Copies of this chain bind each other. A is one copy, B any other.
């Protein structure tokens, strides 16, 4: 039995790629995850998000967000916690997350 990756790989800020970040943010489900994290201002377990997809699809979305550098993931018991890497994103692409977490942007559909 191989061990499950206990701590999945996270990119450094210097490795952030704009194309990859935009591809992550263009999906409505993933953008919803980001805004829910932003609203909560607190780390959230995968299962606590309000998203209209199956668990396996959710796992996929969290992976895309993590690999783009948008969230940091760590285990607490069987729960996988998710933290928004806002400071890191701001360093790499200033203003981008701000523009998408504006009430205006959130309200827009």
Contact = CB atoms under 8 A, between A and B. Distances in A.
A9 interface: no
Contacts of A18: 100, 105, 108-109
Interface of A: 16-19, 22-23, 25-26, 28, 31, 92-96, 98-100, 102, 104-105, 108-109
A39 B17 CA distance: 21
The dominant DSSP class at the A interface is helix
Contact of A99 (B28, B99, B109): B99
A17 B18 CA distance: 21
A30 to B, nearest CB: 11
Nearest to A18: B108
14 contacts: A17-B108, A18-B105, A18-B108, A18-B109, A19-B28, A22-B31, A23-B26, A26-B26, A93-B99, A93-B102, A93-B104, A93-B108, A94-B99, A95-B99
